[in-house]
Structure 1
């Protein structure tokens, strides 16, 4: 667990609860010697771009949190560099709760899940919203902003943390199941071919 994460998550009231409940040793994570946790590496980048959905949390100016699920094809959440990620904001139910919250408080938290392999990545950041009519001339990957997108949500990563896999239920999407079935069918075809070849080799062998 890195310093950047602890500095954001371990507020004084959190530290009080850690001390009260016997996990006060987490305070050691705030030592100046600990660094990292705010620069995405190859493992984080690959995990992020493999996701087909994530949960995002924002907070209103009145202090109420709001959690929303954002989904899309794998890769719709893009790593632009080791401190920046982005996704295209498509039209939904037109409540614009997350967008309104971000206008007042641009802090955001993402929760990325891989249920099949019991992995999860938490990301904290600050958001910069780029509306469609102001996109011209900006250096963005051409496939990041589809025609039906209303805006880009660009997130400056302030911290991330790989969470403990304990208690994550193993779940598989339809795509996961299809890929696994295809693998098993391929293996089965190989076994059948090997069996047929073995039977052909032994068909004419006289018995002792």
Structure 2
């Protein structure tokens, strides 16, 4: 856990609960040993590059948090530089809740999940929206996905403030269709070979049976 993450989320009330429940000293030691910067390192950058989805929380004018899911091909969230992420915001159901929340408060929390390996990376940042400004056309074009049917409405940049690798405990492993196919590919290949071998043997038996009846 980075020291900056603790500075942002370990408020006095949070620390009070940690003290009452016996974990405060543990996190104090972690803070003493943690780096103070917010830049994403090689491990964080590689992890994000392999994700095909993430969850993003924002806060609206009523004070209620709102969590939105974003998905795409692996690497659709780009690490532009160690402290800056970006992704194409595609046209969806046109509710624009997150977009309105950004106008109220630019702060967001992101969860990047690797369910098979029970790994979670949390990122805190501030949003920068590019839709009608002078930078938008070039950014939208550079983030345009291969699927031309997807309409890119804007590009969202996220300036990283802090990050934390979370405990794997209680993360239920889940697998995408692609990940399952990768695992069972050797079995599928083996079954195909066995089917071909069985077909060849049946044909040999039919041919032998014809010879014996002749």
Structure-2 residue corresponding to 1:144: 143
Structure 1: state its 5+ residue gaps.
193-208
Contact kept? 2:57, 2:65, Cα under 8 Å = yes
Distance 1:135 1:151 in 2: 11
Please tell me whether the aligned partners of residues 58 and 65 of structure 2 are also in contact (alpha carbons under 8 angstroms). yes
Q: Aligned runs of 1:84-123 on 2, under 5 Å?
A: 84-123=84-123
In the alignment, the residues of structure 2 paired with residue 46 and residue 134 of structure 1 have an alpha-carbon distance, to the nearest angstrom, of 30
The whole-number CA distance in structure 2 between the counterparts of 1:4 and 1:184 is: 47
Which of structures 1 and 2 has the bigger CA Rg? 2
Q: CA deviation at 1:143?
A: 4.1
Partner of 2:212: none
TM-score by length of 2: 0.80
Alignment partner, residue 17 of structure 2: 17
Aligned positions of 1:1-208 closer than 5 A? 1-25=1-25, 26-31=27-32, 34-36=34-36, 38-131=38-131, 134-135=134-135, 140=139, 143-146=142-145, 148-185=151-188, 188=190
C-alpha RMSD of matched pairs (Å): 2.3
1:204 is aligned to none
CA distance in 2, matches of 1:144, 1:183: 35
Q: Is the 8 A contact 1:132 1:152 kept in 2?
A: no
Aligned equivalents of 1:10, 1:89: Cα separation in 2:
31
As a proportion of its length, which structure holds more helix? 2
**Structure 2: gaps (5+ residues):** 195-214
**Alignment: residue pair count:** 188
